[in-house]
Amino acid sequence: MNFDPRFSGRKFASVGTRPIRPDGIDKVTGRARYGADFNMAGQLVGRILRSPHAHAKILKIDTSKAEKLAGVKAVITAADLPDLTDGDAAMYDVLDNCMARSKALYDGHAVAAVAAVDASTARQALKLIQVAYELLPHVTDVDEAMKHTAPLINDTIFTEGLEEKPVKPSNVTKRSQFGHGDVHQGFGHADFIVERSFKTEQTHQGYIEPHACVANVSSDGTADLWVCTQGHFVYRQHCAQLLGLEASKLRVTSSEIGGGFGGKTHVWAEPVALALSRKAGRPVKLVMTRDEVFRASGPTSATSIDVKIGARKDGTITAAEATLRYSSGPYAGTWAEIGAMTAFACYKLDNVKTVGYEVLVNRPKTAAYRAPSAPMAAFAVESAVDELAKELGMDPVEFRIKNAAQEGTRSSYGPVYGPIGIGPTLEAAKTHPHMKAPLGKNQGRGMACGFWFNFGGQTCTDLNIGMDGSVSLAVGTVDVGGSRASLSLVAAEELGIAYEQVKAVVADTSSLGYNDMTDGSRGTFSSSMATISAARNAIKILRDRAAQMWDIPVDDVVWENGHAIAKGEKYGNLAALSLKEIAAASGKTGGPIAGHSELVADGAGVSFATHICDIEVDPETGAARVIRYTVIQDAGKAVHPTYVEGQYQGGAAQGIGWALNEEYIYGKDGRLQNAGFLDYRIPVCSDLPMIDTQILEIPNPNHPYGVRGVGETSIVPPLAAIANAMSNAAGVRMTHIPMSPPRVLAAIEAEREGRA
């Protein structure tokens, strides 16, 4: 198909405009169907029994009483989900997490499930299941879990990545290291060194829609799953593997999604719903409660990070080093590794070293959360950078500009950068009116930078042209942020037609080839590439059909502004044929017109942002309020600028919640204390200021339109920007996220007493 993905620098007609989204009216009127809105005839209600213990051996599960309860149609335990993972350790962890096999590894770990005719019968049945546990010592804190004296969560795990193979098992599953140069030598050349330790508490993505699905397994070995997910193809693969189904016989349809942010990239309840349906012989609907979402889905890591940065008097950083410890729940992860890769990615460094430790704890399995692992690393690094600028007597923006990575810089994690946006976002911050706005009493300003890799991946798209000339676009990447609108703009752009003529849908797994999930900020980047490719393939056919209609060679037909045009003076009397005219004649010229595309979208351009934050703190209570916030980020090319701004604002809003109040609070008993939105405090509308945005467009050379992913980078700088603002407002460096009022007040009082 010879698709050329290189940036072409074309002029745009549709891309860059701001039409309303195709899913908008249904969403605001309540007509849109989310995970829990799907129902099937004869469906049962599924409910899951969860461990109340942080760490316990499961001695026996007696389901006999529950099975005898009238209205109960199936009761399952791990025995009903036999191990079919065939040595795939990561999939075994997924299986064990869906239904505990021999040990409950966290408060909320599923141990059994029921399907019954209604919710109250199902709830009653759960109470009749008797589980005999042998309690084991637990550990929930990342630093505590690393100690030699900590209870072992999995005694078959020996730390990977050490020079010598360890002889004793450990809660540290892996050590990873990145960097180049010689940091020891680099610190030797520094005039100023800042060294500090930081902690961040565990947070949840906080999507408003809980996990929900309806599973229907037929006795002929086929199955349907309707589910709220960020990646129905991935869910199909995982569910098919865990259930022993052929992937092609399991059709997964993704619903509208009420937020995912990385948290809906992983199966939890879906294999359980399928196993219940298989056993009961009826459809099963399973909707997690908010309590279950907090206790048993996939929050982000809690972290403990040490940072050391040295600089010469002139502001040149001579060396930078960080040790990052990330909790991964009770199963191995690579979260610290990602943190170690991103930590210093904004800077041009001769000597840099980062070390990551993946740490098991008795908490739910860590899942991705919007630029996973990067916000915590940025919090630690950007706080230290800010402090170092102060020690040097340099403006924090100037200090960053002096050390910013640029095209040709070897990144701290290895690759050499192409054209990138860190310098331009900093220059834009420097001249932004926000930087010069006056501050009042008890107010402080902070800024910080952030980086995210972005991802491309496997993508498959169909573009079908109807006989009336309207275009339907079937994509396989779930629309989490307006991608149906942006992809329709891209199809309209390529075909030269109006946006309104295109209707994009997210197709189910039986209608398209495999698509990676919507993660890594890939939705618009990769599916726009596939849409461009599919549209160009359709245009080839449109030209061919026009050539037939005119009875001239296809090489003499070009496509311009939505029309086939006969090229050359000899065709001067041939009027251009519109897409609509060609479509209307398609039945007689060879049948339906369609363009298909399957590709691996390589070359996702890295993304950078700079954020500026003003905060006001009440020195008597520690309460803080963000009063002004500005996001400056490189989008490569903003296909639909409104939804790009939405991503910028959304990341900042989640970052504000994380920075100020959100945290998992565990009791001494290892149980989660705040599994609900009352005491897990995401910001409400009145907690947030208007969030200003500035879109920069530094084209990605690896995309025809220059597009970069924009969804995740916006959550990377906020923790640090807000901490820097808070440190300026409160007069004390804040090193523990969230900066909740009790923590801020305690820091202010300690500083006051220290000075007195």
Binding site for another protein (CB under 8 A): 123, 289, 291, 620-623, 625, 660-661, 665, 673-674, 678-679, 681, 683-684, 686-687, 740-742, 745-746, 749
Q: How far is the CB of 746 from another protein (least distance, A)?
A: 7
**CB closer to another protein, 374 vs 656:** 656
Find out whether 271 and 48 touch, Cβ atoms under 8 Å. no
Give me the amino acid identity at 620: E
Nearer to another protein, 476 or 622 (CB): 622
Give least dist CB 119 to another protein, A: 10
Nearest residue (CB) to another protein, 509 versus 661: 661
DSSP letter at 112 equals E
Of 560 and 679, CB closest to another protein: 679
Query: What distance in Å separates the CA atoms of residue 163 and residue 662, rounded to the nearest whole number?
Result: 38
The amino acid occupying position 475 is: V
Q: Which two tokens stand for residue 6?
A: 């290189």
For residue 685, the minimal CB distance to another protein (Å) is: 9
Query: Which lies closer to another protein via its Cβ, residue 642 or residue 674?
Result: 674
Least distance to another protein, CB of residue 621, Å: 5
Residues 171/331, Cβ–Cβ less than 8 Å: no
For another protein, give the closer residue by CB, 339 or 622: 622
Task: Give the three-state DSSP class for 316.
Answer: coil
Helix, strand, coil shares of the chain, percent, nearest 5, are 30, 25, 45
The count of other CB atoms within 10 Å of the CB of residue 464 is 17
Residue 315 Cβ vs another protein, minimum distance, rounded to whole Å = 38
Q: Rounded to an integer, what distance in angstroms lies between the CA atom of residue 462 and that of residue 508?
A: 12
- Shortest Å distance, C-beta 271 to another protein: 24
E strand spans, 162-302 = 172-180, 192-200, 212-217, 223-227, 250-254, 284-287
Q: How far apart are CA 618 and CA 624, in angstroms?
A: 6
Report the residue number, 238 or 671, with the smaller CB distance to another protein. Answer: 671
Measured from the CB atom, is 569 or 620 closer to another protein?
Answer: 620
Instruction: Give min distance, CB of 254 to another protein, in A.
Output: 28
159 vs 674, beta carbon nearer another protein: 674
Q: What number of CA atoms fall less than 13 Å from residue 113's CA on the CB side?
A: 35
Looking at the Cβ atoms of 220 and 620, the one nearer to another protein is 620
The nearest distance, CB 201 to another protein, in angstroms, is 12
**Min. distance of Cβ 109 from another protein in angstroms?**
19
- Choose among 418, 397, 307: nearest CA to 352: 307
Neighbours of 27 (CB within 10 A): 13
Residue 211 is classified by DSSP as P
CB atoms near residue 448 (< 10 Å): 30
Question: Smallest gap, in angstroms, from Cβ of residue 297 to another protein?
Answer: 18
24 φ, ψ to 5°? -65, -50
| Least Å from the CB of residue 652 to another protein | 17
DSSP letter at 110 equals E
3-state secondary structure at position 616: strand
CA pair distance 699, 303, nearest whole angstrom: 34
Angle at 536 between CA 533 and CA 540, to 5 degrees: 140
Rank residues 554 and 688 by Cβ distance to another protein and give the closer one.
Answer: 688
Pairing of strands 457-465, 593-601: antiparallel
